[in-house]
């Protein structure tokens, strides 16, 4: 296990609380890793922290009910999607939408933009990842990973960058990672 992997896993004590059919579930980041794997570990960490932040903004007094949560993003990352699905079941409930061509604010991702809308029982927040959270090398190598031009060294570096993103994301409080955008008028 690399140092970056160990660091990402030691942050697994963080949990998200959500209600499922009247039962409060406390879901740790390690469950997201077990569900998704490590292929898009950076996105899984972003999804986990994003939901922690959105829940704090929209449902600070009590864990939200899964049935009341909807999600929209302009970023199609599988790690993000799987973290959101594990916690909210939004994909299964058809309450998860992705539009990589949406005209929304937020920094570029490997694909689409790092823009997110979370709604809980009619209350909505619009969030974007903070500028610079994902560097130019990450984006360039991520885009190259979707082509046949990846070398063995590129694959190794791409894995390092994804693990490093997860470590950085999990080492920061959720509010430090996202900018709250004004409501659409």
Q: Which domains does the chain have, with CATH numbers?
A: 3-180 (3.30.1330.130)
* Residue 176, token pair as written in the block: 């430090």
Q: CB burial class (10 A; 0-12, 13-18, 19+) of residue 35?
A: middle
The model carries a pTM of 0.91
Q: In three state form, how does the secondary structure of the chain look?
A: CCHHHHHHHHHHHCEEEEEECCEEEEEEHHHHHHHHCCCCHHHHHHHHHHHHHHHHHHCCCCCCEHHHEEEEECCCCHHHHHHHHHHHCCCCCCCEEECCCCCCCCCECCCCECEEEEEECCEEEEEEECCCCCCHHHHHHHHHCCCCCCCHHHHHHHHHHHHHHHHHHHHCCHHHCEEEECCCC
State the CB neighbour count (10 A cutoff) for residue 88: 30
Distance CA 30, CA 73 (A): 23
pLDDT tens digits in sequence order for the chain, 185 residues long: 233 443 444 343 489 999 999 999 999 999 999 999 999 999 999 999 999 999 999 999 999 999 999 999 999 999 999 999 999 999 999 999 999 999 999 999 999 999 999 999 999 999 999 999 999 999 999 999 999 989 999 999 999 999 999 999 999 999 999 999 998 76
Q: Residue 41's closest CA among 19, 11, 70, 64?
A: 11
Residue pair 136/111 in contact by the 8 Å Cβ criterion: no
């Amino acid at each position: 296990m690399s140092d970056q992997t160990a660091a990402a896993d030691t942050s697994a004590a963080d949990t998200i609380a959500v209600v499922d059919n009247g039962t409060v579930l406390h879901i740790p980041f390690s469950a997201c890793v077990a569900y998704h794997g490590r292929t898009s570990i950076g996105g899984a960490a972003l999804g986990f922290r994003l939901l922690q932040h959105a829940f704090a903004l929209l449902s600070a007094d009590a864990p939200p009910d899964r049935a009341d949560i909807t999600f929209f993003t302009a970023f199609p990352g599988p790690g993000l999607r799987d973290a959101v699905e594990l916690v909210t079941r939004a994909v299964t409930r058809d309450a998860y939408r992705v539009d990589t061509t949406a005209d929304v604010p937020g920094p570029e991702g490997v694909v689409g933009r790092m823009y997110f809308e979370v709604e809980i029982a009619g209350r909505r927040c619009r969030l974007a990842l903070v500028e610079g959270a994902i560097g130019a090398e990450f984006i360039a190598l991520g885009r190259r990973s979707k082509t046949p031009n990846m070398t063995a060294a590129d694959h190794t570096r791409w894995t390092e960058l994804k693990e490093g993103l997860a470590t950085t994301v999990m080492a920061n409080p959720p509010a430090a990672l996202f900018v709250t955008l004004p409501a659409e008028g």
